[in-house]
Amino acid sequence: MVEKKHNTDVLVIGAGIAGIEASLMLSKADRKVHLVEKTSYTGGTTIKFEEVFSNMECSTCMVAPRQQELLQDNNINLLTLAEVEEIKGNPGDFTVKIHKKARYVDMVNCIGCNACFEPCPVSLKNEFEEGLSERKAIYVPCAGALPNVPMIDTENCLRFKGKKCTACQEACMFEAIDYNQKDEKIELKVGAVLVATGFDIFDSKKLPNYGYGKINDVYNSLEFERLYASNGPTEGKILLKNGKPPKTVAIIHCVGRDEKGYCSSVCCMYSLKFNHYLKSKIPDVKISEFYTDLCIPGKSHQKFYEKMKETKVNMIRASNVEVAKQGKEIAVKYNNGSGKKGTLAFDMVILAPAIEPSPDASKLAKTLGITLDEYGFFQQENIEDSSVVSSKPGVFIAGCSQGAKNIQDSVSQASAAVGKILSIST
Amino acid sequence: MAEKFEPRIVGFLCNWCSYAGADLAGTSKLKVPASLTPIRVMCSSRVDPVLVETAFLQGADGVLIAGCHPGDCHYDEGNYYARRRFAILKKVVEGLGLESDRLRLSWVSASEGQRFADVVNEFNEKIKKMGPSSIKVKKTL
Amino acid sequence: MERKIGVYVCECGPNIAEKVDIDKVIQVISSDKDVAVIEKFKLLCSADGKKFLEEEIKKHNLTHLVVAACSPKEHEKTFMEVSENAGLNPYLFQLANIREQCAWITEDKDEATKKAIRLIRAAIGRVRYHSSLEKKEIDSNPDVLVIGGGIAGIQASLQLARPNRKVYLVEKAPELGGLATNFEKNFLSMKPLQEIINGKIEEINTNENIKVFTNSEVEEAVGFFGNFEVKVKRTDTEDEPAQFNVGAVVVAIGSKLFDSEKIPKYGYGKLDNVITSLEFEKMNKSGKILLKNGKPPKSVAIIHCVGREDKGYCSEICCMYSIKFARYLTDKIPSVKVSNLYSDLCIPGKTNQKFYEETKGKNVNFIRFSDAEITKSKDQLSIKYNDENGSKTSLTVDMVILAPAVEPATDASKLAEITGISQGDEGFFEEEHEKINPISTSTEGIYIVGSAQGPKNISETLVQSEAAAGKILSSLIPGRKIEPEVKTSQISEALCIGCKTCLSVCSYGAITFDEAKKISVVNEVICRGCGNCVAACPSGAASIKHFKFKQLYQEIREAVK
């Protein structure tokens, strides 16, 4: 009987920080990598942050060199706007079917000049910017997005809805816009799969006591990240809806913790980071952090907390938090550590919602044939052993898709998964 | 009729953060004075007294050194050394008989296209107010 | 030697052509010295453009290439490849950025054109002084030294060892297993840990690609990525040290516990029945949880965060293992009452909260506290503390278990010196980058895993060990040569005055001092090319390839015109 040759190519699903790390490492080992990314850009959620804890390093500076390396790496076949539809076979011999949506912009011809945006007559809320600013139907999600090639949102583009419009094509001097592009079905053969599809945040609207979606100037963490971002909707100016900077801000931890049943591990640290964000732009701002248990493990994290305490942030251990409109301000009612009730008024409230599995996780789990745990994250096969091994041989999991964690741990899991993949004897 | 003074500013930009930030200013089509000519170095720590002196002796009206924010240096600590050297470099500039403000050190991250534009605009205005470098004036006499 | 510099200006469609008068540029520069040819092209990065450039290089026998186009971050690599394909050394090339940093930011076309001319002339001036640079290739050894035979070292060794990659596992103690052998169970799964560890040790002992040194310490590990020279000495004999070479080192020496005697008010070392978590683990594993008087305790208090203030960080594992202890106790002594005294409950991770909620109950009480003091109270222990309202209260128990902070292992400083890696303020080994490179150190080829890098639980330790294996498996490949950085520093023997300033500024330890010649020497394999030593050198002996003074001088000259 002829031994089937073990395929050494790897499918990585998700081009966030974990997927990028894994792809670059695999490429270094001369493996061919097919990197499938659902959106039109790489970097995942990490590129939404201006700075990361605990050294407040610029997030773009950290990720951009890797994104650029990725784009120029000949071993990595980046497939954006793509999703896995089907997988058959066994470790060493998987056949994967990918559905790749058309971008309608040629990735070779396009030089990223952005001339096609201005003439587009359609304007709508930009999802990347958490709805805080608008984009056109032909767009890149943010300045500096990589690959720096726009896509056409066919659901909102006039032409794709049957109207006559060639505004973007007329503006392009490089013949990069091609309305005739078609979605593709791509079949790949790989030996191993790494799932690094990231996370979503708990929808704070589900908890009416926080006023999210009802009261102006109540933001969730991702919205606030974009407000602070220098390439964001306000170029980094932290402003209330009335256009003025806030004088008082409340940051509320643990939103959705009870509902989800776990601690999301990063929120205390990024809430302290938000304190730093606010103080750096608005030195006189008064900030109160409402938390239940301060979760700051890690050798450098408490130092950062001590530094933040020096900025006179008001740390309040609180339960039963309620956010309500009170005249021109926002009232935060709470029970303090001793059970006594208190109320404080603020201009702005920032919520730190739980990290949850991304909405596509269960569909992907079914497609891949891997199990989910009771929280909806991808489940590791054996709780005693490595957390990157899924329930299906040959399929590995890394990053927040396996459970809420910070960047350091996501990157470590990506490396570990690569270690597992490379140590499979071929 | 006095000729309008067009400053010449030499900008030493580190390859990783500030050069990328300057590129982003370009991609974002921001307006940056043409008076600054960028020179790429791998790290702001490469910028030594000889380079700064040479720039001023050749007639530069201003010198800008741009690197990654403290803590972000691609080579770990290079920008900390740049910061320390800056104090000495200021003395070098004074030693040439020039105002030490003609030398500037700014941290620009890869996502700070607007900041790069602002820094250059502001520095350019300042140099315009200070007038041409006395070394340059002597050279042209 | 006659120079023939080819200068090609990219129109980049309208992006450059509309903002810069390219014809004027060509007209002005065409008569410049050494410029053999200057032409414009619609889009140089396109397939046609690249083909055009390659043909031009060959046609004109160009000695140097200058391309005026977009940012080097976009296409420096592209045009270097074109040069190479045309038989021209890729470092005899310079890219002038007249798009992002000229055309796109300059309003006035006249000014943009003048600036483009400056930039292109700067590139021409600079490229004249470029030297051909060749990629270096050095042999590498794929074998790995793993220092520390605890769970981290064991996991890393098992992931790495194979016929073409030997692993040398060095352990100080007489046996492998480390701290984890003291735990009866691992929290979360609550399954017996010894079986798992024994299984892994068995795998190690039967793996012919792993050589185990117990009762041994690493005396020396010098060199660089791909080539470390190692000496390992047995501590129980007078034998000569074993010597061998490896390509990478994994430091997995674990950690120890903060000395609870340093906090006298907890009475550790003075009062009976006040024990540390490790002592309790051992007691529990032995099967008998007993007080000094030989009887089992009826009430136990577990005090979290011992030494947290002194150390300045949260040790991450203590809340979880304290919950585990509550389970040990209630499983083994059904009527026992357990009180966990904690300041902030640190239980991140998807199943940890459930573990906590399923543990607390009638007989397990979680009390938020501050300022505790333990004194003898007849034959029991009295704990005076402030409750969460700040009121003074007290609790009387038979036994107190302290959860002390996790500290770096005793040998951490010694190992840091031997390997040349650095320790952070807290004493744990310092990673290359806190977020995106937590396993590597600033010394390429040396990795840190497990609690030696920082307090962490077993699951995270296993991930880190495998991550180190991943790093090594992807970058240190048997038979493959290592290609270090090309644009490295070099130190002129003639000019070096032996002041050693460069050694102190190098973040990577790439410079050593030759005592015989009394000069500094750069190890070009380790050098990352930042240029810090060049700026620090008082005698001008240090220079960086491709960023030499005379090259930058040409750019300065043109920049001020």
Q: Would the CB atoms of A423 and C162 count as touching at under 8 Å? A: yes
Q: Would the CB atoms of C99 and B40 count as touching at under 8 Å? A: no
- State residue B55 phi and psi, 5-degree precision: -60, -45
Q: Is the dihedral of CA A417, A419, A425, A426 positive or negative?
A: positive
In this predicted structure, the answer to whether residue C396 has a pLDDT above a threshold of 90 is: yes
Within its chain, how far is the Cα of C421 from the centroid?
10
Nearest to A61 among B28, B68, B115 (CB): B68
Beta bridge partners of residue A389, listed in sequence order: A396
Nearest to B27 among C100, C118, C122 (CB): C100
Length of chain A: 426
- Kindly report the CA angle at C144 between C141 and C148, in degrees rounded to 5? 160
User: Taking CA atoms, what residue in A is nearest to B20?
Assistant: A61
Picking from A55-69, B38-52, C16-30, C405-419, which range would have the lowest pLDDT averaged per residue? A55-69
* B69 touches A at CB < 8 Å: yes
Pairing, β C542-544 against β C489-491: antiparallel
Q: Which structure tokens are listed for C112?
A: 């943009």
Beta bridge partners of residue A57, listed in sequence order: A52
Distance CA A325, CA C286 (A): 60
User: Taking CA atoms, what residue in A is nearest to B17?
Assistant: A61
Q: Could you give the 3-state DSSP secondary structure of residue C221?
A: strand
- The CATH code that applies to domain C144-254+409-475 is 3.50.50.60
Q: Which structure tokens are listed for A132?
A: 């805080």
Q: Could you give the 3-state DSSP secondary structure of residue B82?
A: helix
CB B124 within 8 A of CB B9: yes
Q: Is the dihedral of CA A278, A282, A283, A288 positive or negative?
A: negative
User: Taking CA atoms, what residue in C is nearest to A51?
Assistant: C435
What residue has token string 């008989």? B97
In this predicted structure, the answer to whether residue A71 has a pLDDT above a threshold of 90 is: yes
* A143 touches B at CB < 8 Å: yes
* Mean pLDDT on C3-24: 93
Q: What is the pTM of this model?
A: 0.91
* B76 touches A at CB < 8 Å: no
Contacts of C188 in chain A (CB under 8 A): 383
pLDDT class of C237 with cuts at 50, 70, 90: very high
Helix (H) or strand (E) holding C194: helix C193-205
Nearest to A29 among C345, C466, C473 (CB): C473
Q: Give the tens place of pLDDT for each residue, A383-414.
A: 888 899 999 999 999 999 999 999 999 999 99
Whether the bond between C334 and the residue before it is cis, its omega within 30 degrees of 0, is no
pLDDT class of A55 with cuts at 50, 70, 90: confident
In this predicted structure, the answer to whether residue A3 has a pLDDT above a threshold of 70 is: no
pLDDT class of B141 with cuts at 50, 70, 90: low
Half-sphere exposure of C215 (CA within 13 A, CB side): 7
Q: CA-CA distances (angstroms) from residue C273 to A34, A220, C369, C379? A: 59, 49, 21, 10
Q: Give the tens place of pLDDT for each residue, C513-533.
A: 999 999 999 999 889 999 999
- The CATH code that applies to domain C5-133 is 3.40.50
- The CATH code that applies to domain C260-406 is 3.50.50.60
Nearest to B72 among A58, A143, A231 (CB): A58
- Kindly report the CA angle at C508 between C505 and C513, in degrees rounded to 5? 65
Mutation for A interface: B68, B72, B109, B111, most A CBs within 10 A: B111
Q: Give the tens place of pLDDT for each residue, C464-503.
A: 999 999 999 999 999 999 989 999 999 999 999 999 999 9
Contacts of B71 in chain A (CB under 8 A): 55-57
* C556 touches B at CB < 8 Å: yes
Please indicate whether residue A54 or residue B44 has the higher confidence score (pLDDT): B44
User: Taking CA atoms, what residue in C is nearest to A54?
Assistant: C434
Mutation for B interface: A48, A55, A58, most B CBs within 10 A: A58
Q: Would the CB atoms of C540 and B50 count as touching at under 8 Å? A: yes
Tell me the Cα Rg of chain B: 15
Residue A34, C-beta contacts closer than 8 angstroms, at least 6 positions apart: A9, A10, A11, A12, A77, A79, A96, A98, A188, A190
Nearest to C535 among B34, B47, B54 (CB): B47
Q: Which structure tokens are listed for A9?
A: 């190519």
Q: Would the CB atoms of C468 and A298 count as touching at under 8 Å? A: no
In this predicted structure, the answer to whether residue A1 has a pLDDT above a threshold of 60 is: no
Q: Give the tens place of pLDDT for each residue, C293-320.
A: 999 999 999 999 999 999 999 999 999 9
Q: Is A196 exposed, middle or buried (0-12, 13-18, 19+ CB in 10 A)?
A: buried
Query: In the complex, which subunits touch C with 3 or more CB pairs below 8 angstroms?
Result: A, B
**Closest to C131 in 3D by CA, of C85, C78, C63:** C63
What residue has token string 């543990």? C359
In this predicted structure, the answer to whether residue C140 has a pLDDT above a threshold of 60 is: yes
Q: CA-CA distances (angstroms) from residue B80 to B72, B121, C507, C522? A: 10, 25, 11, 22
User: Min CA distance, A220 vs chain C (Å)?
Assistant: 20
Contacts of C547 in chain B (CB under 8 A): 41-42, 46
* A148 touches B at CB < 8 Å: yes
Same topology for domains C5-133 and C489-545, yes or no?
A: no
Helix (H) or strand (E) holding C380: strand C380-386
User: Min CA distance, B53 vs chain A (Å)?
Assistant: 30
* B37 touches C at CB < 8 Å: yes
Q: Could you give the 3-state DSSP secondary structure of residue C62?
A: coil
Q: Give the tens place of pLDDT for each residue, C150-170.
A: 999 999 999 999 999 999 999
User: Taking CA atoms, what residue in C is nearest to A112?
Assistant: C15
Q: Would the CB atoms of A388 and C463 count as touching at under 8 Å? A: yes
User: Taking CA atoms, what residue in A is nearest to B24?
Assistant: A144
User: Taking CA atoms, what residue in A is nearest to C342?
Assistant: A293
In this predicted structure, the answer to whether residue B1 has a pLDDT above a threshold of 80 is: no
Q: Would the CB atoms of C13 and A25 count as touching at under 8 Å? A: no
User: Min CA distance, A55 vs chain B (Å)?
Assistant: 7
Using H for helix, E for strand and C for coil, what is the string for C460-506?
Answer: HHHHHHHHHHHHHHHHCCCCCCECCCCCCEEECCCCCCCCCHHHHHC
The domain segmentation of chain C, as residue ranges, is: 5-133, 144-254+409-475, 260-406, 489-545
In this predicted structure, the answer to whether residue B2 has a pLDDT above a threshold of 60 is: no
Q: Would the CB atoms of C196 and A384 count as touching at under 8 Å? A: yes
* Mean pLDDT on C15-38: 95
Q: Which structure tokens are listed for C546?
A: 């491709």
Tell me the Cα Rg of chain A: 23
Percent of chain C with pLDDT over 70: 100
Nearest to C389 among A113, A294, A337 (CB): A337
Query: In the complex, which subunits touch A with 3 or more CB pairs below 8 angstroms?
Result: B, C
- The CATH code that applies to domain C489-545 is 3.30.70.20
Q: Would the CB atoms of A58 and B16 count as touching at under 8 Å? A: no
* B111 touches A at CB < 8 Å: yes
What residue has token string 């050297």? B85
Tell me how crowded residue C171 is: count the other CB atoms within 10 A of its CB. Answer: 24
* A412 touches B at CB < 8 Å: no
Q: CA-CA distances (angstroms) from residue A121 to A162, A163, B29? A: 14, 12, 21
Percent of chain C with pLDDT over 90: 92
Q: Would the CB atoms of A58 and B115 count as touching at under 8 Å? A: no
CB C548 within 8 A of CB C122: no
User: Taking CA atoms, what residue in B is nearest to C102?
Assistant: B34
Q: Could you give the 3-state DSSP secondary structure of residue C326?
A: helix
**Closest to C555 in 3D by CA, of B126, B92, B47, B122:** B47
**Closest to C449 in 3D by CA, of C477, C429, C475:** C429
Q: Which structure tokens are listed for C126?
A: 């600079």
pLDDT score for A4 = 58
Distance CA C549, CA C553 (A): 6
Nearest to B114 among A55, A64, A230 (CB): A230
pLDDT class of C389 with cuts at 50, 70, 90: confident
Within its chain, how far is the Cα of C444 from the centroid?
9
Q: Which structure tokens are listed for A200?
A: 């979503």
CB C13 within 8 A of CB C44: no
Q: CA-CA distances (angstroms) from residue C114 to A178, A199, C21? A: 37, 50, 9
A:65-124 residues touching chain B, CB 8 A cutoff: 65, 112, 114
In this predicted structure, the answer to whether residue B65 has a pLDDT above a threshold of 80 is: yes
User: Min CA distance, A58 vs chain B (Å)?
Assistant: 7
Mean pLDDT for all residues in chain C: 95
Q: Would the CB atoms of B39 and C556 count as touching at under 8 Å? A: yes
What chain A holds in terms of domains, given with CATH numbers, is 10-101+183-198+358-422 (3.50.50.60), 202-354 (3.50.50.60)
**Closest to C363 in 3D by CA, of C320, C395, C402, C331:** C331
Q: Give the tens place of pLDDT for each residue, A120-159.
A: 999 999 999 999 999 999 999 998 899 999 999 999 999 9
Distance CA C313, CA A120 (A): 53
Q: Would the CB atoms of A299 and C313 count as touching at under 8 Å? A: yes
In this predicted structure, the answer to whether residue A233 has a pLDDT above a threshold of 80 is: yes
What's the complex ipTM?
Answer: 0.96
Give the relative orientation of helices C72-85 and C47-60 as an angle to the nearest 10 degrees. Answer: 50
pLDDT score for C292 = 95
* B77 touches A at CB < 8 Å: no
Q: Is A405 exposed, middle or buried (0-12, 13-18, 19+ CB in 10 A)?
A: buried
Q: Would the CB atoms of B76 and C97 count as touching at under 8 Å? A: no
Q: Would the CB atoms of A61 and B110 count as touching at under 8 Å? A: yes
* Mean pLDDT on A90-95: 96
Q: Is A183 exposed, middle or buried (0-12, 13-18, 19+ CB in 10 A)?
A: exposed
Nearest to A294 among C13, C344, C467 (CB): C344
Q: Would the CB atoms of B20 and A55 count as touching at under 8 Å? A: no
The domain segmentation of chain B, as residue ranges, is: 9-134
- State residue A422 phi and psi, 5-degree precision: -75, -20
AA letter at A327: G
* B39 touches C at CB < 8 Å: yes
pLDDT score for B47 = 95
Q: Give the tens place of pLDDT for each residue, A269-317.
A: 999 999 999 999 999 999 999 999 999 999 999 999 999 999 999 999 9
Q: Would the CB atoms of C561 and B8 count as touching at under 8 Å? A: yes
Q: Could you give the 3-state DSSP secondary structure of residue C83?
A: helix
Q: Give the tens place of pLDDT for each residue, C69-97.
A: 999 998 999 999 999 999 999 999 999 99
CB C236 within 8 A of CB C130: no
State which CATH number among 3.10.620, 1.20.58, 3.30.70, 3.40.50 fits the domain covering B9-134.
3.40.50
